[in-house]
Amino acid sequence: MTATEQQRYQAQLDEKVERLTALLSPFDAPDLSVFPSQPTHYRMRAEFRVWHEGDDLFHIMFNQETKEKYRVDSFPPACKAINDAMTLLLKEVRPNEALRKKLFQIDYLSALSGELVISLLYHRQLDEKWQEAAIELKAKLEAHFTKVNII
């Protein structure tokens, strides 16, 4: 992680503390006790839109100010399990038409145990072919993670 990313984490934390302190000020609340996380791999959930270019696809996010999309191959704020799953999942989805077709969003949720719930969101009705492909995908991912559920 770069120094800039670490500074960004600290700035985000400082802003949250400031905002919460302001919200609680009318109630004469005691000073907050703040326990920072590590500056990387502290988020246990992440969601990404999926961008298709021909037979390729990848995670994207949108710049909050410009609304421009940008490719996301790794996401340092997310836990290691999510980062690893991002790569493995797309590797399996890319060549599989049943999984790839009209996939528009992927949500990841992880537990401290390493278990994952991965939500694949589509702009189409899912069929038996998709279900079979999803079962195979789950088995492949479970070779790398404690437990995986795909919804």
Which pLDDT score, from 0 to 100, does residue 8 have? Answer: 83
Sign of the four-CA dihedral 68, 69, 71, 74: positive
Do the beta carbons of residue 103 and residue 130 sit within 8 Å? no
* Of the options 3.40.50.1000, 3.40.190.80, 3.20.20.80, 2.40.50.1070, the CATH number for the domain spanning 40-150: 2.40.50.1070
Which pLDDT score, from 0 to 100, does residue 5 have? Answer: 67
pTM for the whole thing? 0.84
How high is the mean pLDDT in each 10-residue block of the chain (151 residues)?
A: 67 94 94 90 95 95 94 95 98 97 98 96 98 98 95 93
d(CA 20, CA 121): 33
Which pLDDT score, from 0 to 100, does residue 10 have? Answer: 86
What distances in angstroms separate CA 81 from CA 26, 94, 112, one per listed residue?
A: 40, 20, 9
d(CA 82, CA 88): 10
